[in-house]
Amino acid sequence: MSERASVPRAEEQPDEEHADEAEPVSTGAQSVVRALENAGTEFVFGVQGGAIMPVYDALYDSDITHVTMAHEQGASHAADAYGIVTGDPGVCFATSGPGATNLVTGIADASMDSDPVIALTGQVPTDFVGNDAFQETDTVGITQPITKESYFASHSDTVGDDVSEAFALADSGRQGPTLVDLPKDVTQGETEVEPKAPETPDTYEVQEEADDAAVQEAAEALADADRPVILSGGGVIKAEASSALREFAKEYEIPVITTMPGIGSFPEDHELSLEWAGMHGTGYANMAITNTDCMLAIGTRFDDRLTGGVDSFAPDADIVHVDIDPAEISKNVYADYPLIGDARKVLRQLFDAMPRAPAADEWREQCQDWKEEYPMEYDTPDDEPLKPQYVVERFSEVTPDDTIVCTGVGQHQMWASQFWEYTEPRTWVSSHGLGTMGYGVPAAIGAKLAAPDQEVVCFDGDGSFLMTVQGLSVAVRENLDITYVILNNEAVGMVRQWQDGFYEGRRMASEYPWIPQFDKLAEAFGARGFRLEDYGEVEETIQAARDYDGPSVIDAHIDPGENVFPMVPSGGDNGLFALEEDHLEML
């Protein structure tokens, strides 16, 4: 994968000559669209409506492609996935009121995962604001806690600048969502003011490089370690630091664990890889996390699904924490060596500062032994119902390395992350921090449009798929070659797993015996549908779905008794993961 081109900055703006070619703006809405064009916007995901109509009208004359989604939640998820795959902000539109509130889930999702998204919402005319007008909501108020900044555009002359700034802000420092609320009179109003180039506000400062003395100290600590590990988070991918990470880890021979959002930052087929740690991470990663004496953690916010209880997280370790956001330092886990800066640049600084490689032969052997002791395995006797892990593994084997995997949220998400072998950054598109069921269907649409030449597979659960199934209509209309694989266990499987483990098997509202036939549902939408029940049909079904040029849905009826292991109970000790149901009782 190539390192992405950055958002055009002031100095990279279209040159004078080119700017002269464009028609001058005459309304606020045109200025909004011009700002998006200036920032390099390729796609907008959205749904039309009354208050946003002037902006859509301006979009009519633009080369930006608009993708009409079936629901605004899908628009924000598609924009989010577009942002993950390309590294550039994904853009979504919605009208005021319900349009804006429907975007909220996707904006919150982007906020939790630091994905670059800009949301533009229609608003009732300024004179009506505050009067409970038709389709009015306080969108800025609602979204303030889940954006880097929410703007209320107050004037036609400055609305384009608001959009430019929101765009730059979404993509700067720690990426994340921004929103601009656009009152209808502001977008309809006349203006001849061209928007400024994308630039972050003057109060927003980002420290790119860490303090040299601090880097030196951290490097010494890492070089002195007997049991070093690298914990690579989603921030490594966002900072385009995956290749720097690979170089660093290989040069100094330090085992690498990723967080779940960090999947793809280091190749899982490399012997230094211990794959990912956390609640359902590998046993070997969790053993290494627990027993390390020095952890280089990069671009991770130490989410509780990763750490378990912080009192037992890497309890012997000095922690070197690299993050571009100072507020992440010592927020959840105390950092002995805080290094504030861009992951790629700080990794380069660390690389140069390392006095020597840590003497960790024994430790590396120990890590390999753990791979033997706690392998990722499952039972596959032919007479049992189909195992979900088998479907994921077979699919992973036949697809190219740069295949993009999207998921919903639930057990299927865990199997897709455990049993698919990831080797490239930006190939894993999932909802982590917010855990949004329904993320998969629209995310796959955003991912496919972002990377039309890459294969896109979406693993979903029956429960998760049903939450945004209407998005299939978009995939069909746009003729997107996406393979949706529903690992169908007729339940909200993760909830059921917890009820069985922690609520004495009282399966309240977790079983879905009224699930539709997804293969037929797919056909009704105009997609290709497959039903998969037996081991013998797995390969040919996968092949047929991949061969079909357009969206296809494999309804894979899997063993409803299959649960996700290993498992660290919520707030538990990573080293005390359960490998099977019996272990849970010991914890």
Partner 1 sequence: MPGPAPDERMRPEGRRNSQGIRVDPEAEVTHEPRQAVLSALVKHRPGVLAEVSGLFSRRQFNIESLTVGPTDDEDTARMTILIEEPEPGIEQAKKQLRKLVPVVEVTELEPAAVRRELALIKVDGEKPDDVNAVAEMYGGQAVDASTDSVTVEITGSKQKIDAAVDAFQQFDVREVVRTGAAALERGPTTLDNDD
374 binds partner 1 (CB under 8 A): yes
Tokens of 575: 């080293």
Q: With CB under 8 A as the contact rule, which of the stretches 217-225, 372-380, 444-452, 526-534 interacts with partner 1? A: 372-380
368 binds partner 1 (CB under 8 A): no
Q: With CB under 8 A as the contact rule, which of the stretches 41-49, 369-377, 414-422, 488-496 interacts with partner 1? A: 369-377
* Per annotation, catalytic residue among 494, 511, 562, 577: 494
- The residue count for binding partner 1 (CB under 8 A) is 46
Q: How far is the CB of 323 from partner 1 (least distance, A)?
A: 11
Tokens of 433: 């921090």
For residue 255, count CB atoms less than 10 angstroms from its CB and return exposed for 0-12, middle for 13-18, buried for 19 or more.
buried
Using DSSP bridges, classify how beta strands 117-123 and 228-232 pair: parallel, antiparallel or unpaired.
Answer: unpaired
- Of 352 and 581, CB closest to partner 1: 581
Quick note: the x/- pattern for partner 1 over 196-235, rule CB under 8 A, is: -----x-xx-------------------------------
* Per annotation, catalytic residue among 30, 72, 295, 465: 72
**3-class DSSP state of 429:** strand
- Of 135 and 332, CB closest to partner 1: 332
CB atoms within 10 A of CB 271: 11
Reduced DSSP (H G I as helix, E B as strand, rest coil) percent helix, strand, coil of the chain, to 5: 40, 15, 45
Quick note: the x/- pattern for partner 1 over 124-143, rule CB under 8 A, is: ----------------xx--
Among 192, 251, 373, 540, binds partner 1 (CB under 8 A): 373
- Of 45 and 152, CB closest to partner 1: 152
Has 494 been annotated as catalytic? yes
CB atoms within 10 A of CB 141: 11
- Of 111 and 464, CB closest to partner 1: 111
Q: With CB under 8 A as the contact rule, which of the stretches 121-129, 156-164, 319-327, 347-355 interacts with partner 1? A: 319-327
Q: Read off φ and ψ for residue 65, nearest 5 degrees.
A: -85, 125
When computed from its CA atoms, the radius of gyration of the chain, rounded to whole angstroms, is 24
Q: With CB under 8 A as the contact rule, which of the stretches 240-248, 497-505, 540-548, 575-583 interacts with partner 1? A: 575-583
Contact present, 337 and 296 (Cβ < 8 Å): no
330 binds partner 1 (CB under 8 A): yes
Name the strands in the sheet holding 177-183, side by side, starting at the edge strand that comes first in the sequence. 65-68, 43-46, 90-94, 117-123, 177-183, 149-152
Tokens of 406: 């999207």
Contact present, 428 and 263 (Cβ < 8 Å): yes
- Of 67 and 295, CB closest to partner 1: 295
**3-class DSSP state of 45:** strand
Has 184 been annotated as catalytic? yes
Using DSSP bridges, classify how beta strands 256-258 and 228-232 pair: parallel, antiparallel or unpaired.
Answer: parallel
Contact present, 77 and 439 (Cβ < 8 Å): yes
> What CA–CA distances, in Å, run from 411 to 133, 205, 418, 562?
43, 40, 11, 9
Q: How far is the CB of 294 from partner 1 (least distance, A)?
A: 12
445-464 exposure pattern, b = at least 16 Cβ within 10 A, e = fewer: bbbbbbbeebbbbbbbbbbb
Has 530 been annotated as catalytic? no
Q: Residue 437's closest CA among 494, 480, 476?
A: 494
Cα–Cα distance for residue pair 155/143, rounded to 1 Å: 20
Q: How far is the CB of 141 from partner 1 (least distance, A)?
A: 7
Q: With CB under 8 A as the contact rule, which of the stretches 10-18, 310-318, 479-487, 549-557 interacts with partner 1? A: 310-318
Among 315, 355, 452, 561, binds partner 1 (CB under 8 A): 315
- Of 476 and 576, CB closest to partner 1: 576
Cα–Cα distance for residue pair 450/91, rounded to 1 Å: 12
Q: How far is the CB of 413 from partner 1 (least distance, A)?
A: 23
Among 15, 21, 269, 311, binds partner 1 (CB under 8 A): 311
Among 53, 133, 310, 376, binds partner 1 (CB under 8 A): 310
Strand partners, 407: 459
Has 72 been annotated as catalytic? yes
> What CA–CA distances, in Å, run from 471 to 139, 481, 559?
24, 14, 27
* Per annotation, catalytic residue among 148, 184, 387, 448: 184
Binding positions for partner 1, 247-306, rule CB under 8 A: 283, 287, 290-291, 302
CB atoms within 10 A of CB 52: 27
64 binds partner 1 (CB under 8 A): no
Q: With CB under 8 A as the contact rule, which of the stretches 328-336, 433-441, 459-467, 499-507 interacts with partner 1? A: 328-336
549 binds partner 1 (CB under 8 A): no
Cα–Cα distance for residue pair 446/456, rounded to 1 Å: 10
List the catalytic residues: 72, 134-135, 184, 494
Give the footprint of partner 1 on this chain (CB under 8 A). 140-141, 144-145, 148-149, 152, 169, 201, 203-204, 283, 287, 290-291, 302, 307, 310-313, 315-317, 325-327, 329-334, 370, 373-374, 377, 575-580, 583, 586-587
